[in-house]
Chain A
């Protein structure tokens, strides 16, 4: 019964154990630095440039919606309207930029990685590299994780800035408040610590979404149906784990 819990392919514990054990294969000394370097650059380009547009569009609207909704809640109240700028800024920095961006990237980058690696597994590319003497866990996965850890925090920063701009544009368009008021809000009650929190989240979420997605792809079996399932699992598990991590980070860093 107990051994079933840890040995069955269907058990969560089995996969957690396998995932953790697998980590030590990823962080091995590269066979050839320049091959890894090239791969990191390629991945950075794919993740960064490939996702820039969608991150900008989504962040613009999230910022705009936050501003509009908040001004609706404020209307007629005691709170001065320049608070809109302040709230949008802090919502973006503390929560929205990192979380929304990474949830979106789990869907875009994560599913893509799982499908790419799973395809390599099924077409025996991974076996072929392994027989050549390549440490495939390291060569295929490590560059993706490193690239994501560099690029995703940058995307998150962009998301925060664009989101704040989105709030500004929406406030101007609806005439909820003046330009000066919004900027006054942006400059009020600024806590640098929150920016640190944003980057902690960005790093942790980037790690979760790449490593979970790569795991799903790397150990895929069977054919195209299983590949589709792996790609879906990559997104679903990444999203759930990102939200759990979000909650834990919020608890740890704000108490």
Chain B
């Protein structure tokens, strides 16, 4: 479980987050949704400590994240996996070296054990046999999968994913969503996903936090989305004219 309390974040004059309280639950796919520029990435970076909040506290279970010194922070990060929006695969390393990197750095395992773990993670994301390719040689969807494999290689308790679907076709996007959701259940991870894709919301949204104008505008799960009267939510979900028409049609019949 991760809890944020009264989180504010400003960049100079620009007040991006204005007091967010939310709990991201264990074993669930927690979604941060909102329009582009709503502050989703900023919130995610605050959660992993790549940015510091201007105000407020972040709790990892019963540990206060903001009070950790550098050493404790690095220790906690052994339990954290993250997939960046641009994948952030190291382009001078092969796929295997990428996934092995956290193991090389932090585990005392032998090369044989490490290779086994890499192969297991690759098979978990259904990407066997690409060990010796370079990131530039595989497609965007495959890069996402490799990114996920690298994120879970150390058995994290917390998984953060920034826009897993951006730049993917709808079908690949859904398989990536399902993969993240399955992994969350299988290993009982606290997963936090940033997305502006309403397909993901309806597919895997178990605990959703809608950001609007720097505030928490709505929270709930995918079933509650359809029943909600919240204007900002329907504005976001039914952004496309097609969906608006569909909704009106459904309301009539």
Partners in one complex: yes
Given A123-B88, A124-B88; A131-B77 close (CB under 8 Å): yes
**Count of A-B contacts with CB under 8 A?**
53
CB distance from A29 to the nearest CB of B (A): 10
9-residue interface stretch from B13-21, B58-66, B101-109, B174-182: B101-109
**Closest partner residue, chain B, to A120 (CB atom):** B90
User: Which residues of the partner chain B approach A135 to less than 8 Å between Cβ atoms?
Assistant: 70, 74
CB distance from B51 to the nearest CB of A (A): 10
Q: Does B134 contact A (CB under 8 A)?
A: no
Give Cα A131–Cα B162 distance, bound, in whole angstroms.
Answer: 13
CB distance from A134 to the nearest CB of B (A): 6
Q: Could you tell me which residues of chain B, from 71 to 92, have a CB within 8 Å of some CB in chain A?
A: 74-78, 80, 82, 84-86, 88, 90-91
Q: Does A31 contact B (CB under 8 A)?
A: yes
Interface size class on chain A is: 10 to 19
A131 and B50: CB pair below 8 A? yes
Q: Could you tell me which residues of chain A, from 136 to 174, have a CB within 8 Å of some CB in chain B?
A: none
Give the residue among B76, B88, B101 with the most A Cβ atoms within 10 A: B88
Interface size class on chain B is: 20 to 34
A128 and B82: CB pair below 8 A? yes
Q: Does A226 contact B (CB under 8 A)?
A: no
A131 and B106: CB pair below 8 A? no
Q: Mark B180-192, 1 if CB is under 8 A from A, else 0.
A: 0000000000000
B106 and A130: CB pair below 8 A? no
**Closest partner residue, chain B, to A133 (CB atom):** B77
Q: Does B233 contact A (CB under 8 A)?
A: no
Give Cα A123–Cα B90 distance, bound, in whole angstroms.
Answer: 9
B106 and A125: CB pair below 8 A? no
CB distance from B93 to the nearest CB of A (A): 10
Q: Which of A32, A35, A127 contacts B50 (CB 8 A)?
A: A127
Q: Which of A32, A125, A133 contacts B88 (CB 8 A)?
A: A125
Q: Does A255 contact B (CB under 8 A)?
A: no
CB distance from B108 to the nearest CB of A (A): 9
Give Cα A31–Cα B105 distance, bound, in whole angstroms.
Answer: 7
Q: Which of B77, B90, B160 contacts A125 (CB 8 A)?
A: B90
Q: Does B152 contact A (CB under 8 A)?
A: no
Q: Does B48 contact A (CB under 8 A)?
A: yes
Q: Could you tell me which residues of chain B, from 143 to 186, have a CB within 8 Å of some CB in chain A?
A: 154, 160
Q: Mark B24-49, 1 if CB is under 8 A from A, else 0.
A: 00000000000000000000010011
Q: What are 27 A-to-B residue pairs whose CB atoms are below 8 Å? A: A31-B74, A31-B106, A32-B105, A32-B106, A35-B104, A35-B105, A123-B86, A123-B91, A124-B85, A125-B90, A127-B45, A127-B84, A130-B50, A131-B48, A131-B49, A131-B50, A132-B77, A132-B101, A132-B154, A133-B74, A133-B75, A133-B76, A133-B77, A133-B102, A133-B105, A133-B106, A134-B74
Q: Which residues of A contact B (CB under 8 A)?
A: 31-32, 35, 123-125, 127-128, 130-135
6 further A-B contacts with Cβ under 8 Å, apart from A131-B49, A132-B80, are A125-B90, A128-B84, A128-B90, A132-B101, A132-B105, A133-B77
Q: Which residues of B contact A (CB under 8 A)?
A: 45, 48-50, 70, 74-78, 80, 82, 84-86, 88, 90-91, 101-102, 104-106, 154, 160
